[in-house]
Chains A and B, each alone.
Chain A
Amino acid sequence: MSGNSYYSRKLHSLLGVIPLGLFFIEHALTNYSAFEGGKEKFLDSVHGLHDLPLIFFLEMFIIWLPILFHGVYGLYLAFTSNLNVGRFNYGRNWAFALQRITGVITFIFVIWHVWQTRIQVALGNTTYDELGEHMHSIVTQPGYFTLYFIAVLAAVFHFSNGLWAFLVSWGITIGPRAQRVSSRICMGIFVIVSVLFLLSLFAFRGDEFASASAAIGTLQLG
């Protein structure tokens, strides 16, 4: 943006919370519906989202473009930072280092996850109706499950700690006490959103999503 990194950095910070943070929470809740209400509830949630009007533009302006900018510019920012937790072994410095490490993990994971889900739908290899079964076939493989487990925790940390940094960078939490309180709140958000995502990961491993998958498999064979 006009060659001034002040504005690009501000945009990067803003996009991380609005819309990406909001989308991230929405994603956690949609997934969680698989744990709360099983397959039916999850399908309802998925349909509810994809029945939104102008869904293509919503996806483009709320998800694709912000992720592209936040991810690519974030990689550049991570590259311009040193990690010095060895010399300065402080909690906030660890959060600083982890913010960059989890950012890189999340960026790689998001590309791969989008390829494995959204792009497979676009290519016609699966449908929104079969998304639960599709996820079941992925997360029942121990290797993929471990990857999802780690990546989900990394993404949630990046979101929660990023929210804390957003409040500082926009001058909302200024004094040490405000920053301490907001860091506790953000750690609370980390725990809650992590539990939501992890419970849904375990829910997708359940038989409910498997049997249907098998049924569809045989149907297609027949």
Chain B
Amino acid sequence: MADTATAQRTVKFIITRQERPDTAPYTEEFDIPYRPNMNVISALMEIQRNPVKSDGTRTTPVVWESNCLEEVCGACSMVINGKPRQACSALIDKLEQPIRIAPMTTFPVVRDLVINRERMFQALKRVKAWIPIDGTYDLGPGPRMAETKRQWAYELSKCMTCGVCLEACPNVNDRSSFIGPAAISQVRLFNAHPTGEMNAHERLEALMTDGGIEGCGNSQNCVRSCPKGIPLTTSIAAINKDTTKHMFKKWLSL
């Protein structure tokens, strides 16, 4: 065992853990046997199989969430070497060691690396990020969307509610009620849709209340951090324009 350990390359991990939502976080170090093309998820799976720390003592397996393993579901977001990103697309060969892993503490920590992103889904409900098509009779086909518009709207639809933009935003914290960049960009997406547009004012008004779009302080960390390359700051500025116009229209009762 000792012979193979010295012969084999290992990868050092420093993981921030937390037993329960109300307990204090602590760190544990792990040396994981290196395999080619590893990512952070496969390293966490190795810890799950053999939960032994660097000092040789056993511990509980590190808990994390993951799903698609191809950076489209957003479940495995965590802070890797200081930056929030998806663990599945974080390749060990491209990371500086020791690799430091921590939960995205902007969200409530459930256990270890598992966080509760419920506020993001609540935000989508709050801004009505859907197209209302239900009726008591067949409403018929809706208006068509121009192909050029569909193409840029598709970029906005790539949002996977992963929470990275909220983690990067200095204005999303427990002292502010800012809704965060993701939901604002979704308002732009659904307001761009020919049918969704019919309820545009409802989504704008949802953003013109406490904790709405005014919480943005233009640090622009979100657009630098978004794993899907969504133009979040352009969405925010576009919705700034729409809410401003809507505010004046309401005042002038137009």
Binding site for B on A (CB under 8 A): 3-6, 9-10, 77, 79-84, 87-88, 90, 92-93, 95-97, 99, 164-165, 168-176, 179
Q: Which of A10, A84, A170, A172 contacts B170 (CB 8 A)?
A: A84
Residue numbers in A under 8 Å from B225 (CB-CB):
88
Give the total number of A-B pairs whose CB atoms are below 8 A apart: 106
- Inter-chain contacts of A174 with B (CB < 8 A): 234, 237-238, 240-241
Which of B16-24, B107-115, B122-130, B203-211 makes up part of the contact surface? B203-211
Please tell me if B212 contacts chain A, counting CB pairs below 8 Å.
yes
B214 touches A6 (CB 8 A): yes
B97 within 8 A of A: no
**Interface of B toward A, CB cutoff 8 Å:** 82-83, 168, 170-171, 173, 175-176, 207-221, 224-225, 231, 233-234, 236-245, 247
> A82 with B221: in contact, given A5-B214, A169-B240, A171-B238 (CB under 8 Å)?
no
Check A5–B211 contact: CB distance below 8 A.
Answer: yes
A173-B233 Cα distance, complex, nearest whole Å: 11
Bound state CA distance, A92 and B170, in angstroms? 12
* A95, B221: Cα distance in complex, Å: 11
Within the assembled complex, what's the spacing in Å between the Cα atoms of A90 and B221?
A: 8
* Cross-chain contact A81 with B176 (CB below 8 angstroms): yes
| Contact assessment for A96 and B219 in the assembled complex, using a CB-CB cutoff below 8 Å | yes
**What's the nearest-Cβ distance from chain B to residue A90, in Å?**
6
User: Would B237 and A171 count as touching, CB distance under 8 A?
Assistant: yes
CB distance from B36 to the nearest CB of A (A): 30
A198 to B: closest C-beta gap in Å: 27
B217 touching A81 by the CB < 8 A rule? yes
* Distance of A165 from chain B, by nearest CB (Å): 5
Given A81-B217, A92-B219, A93-B221, A5 and B210 touching (CB < 8 A)? yes
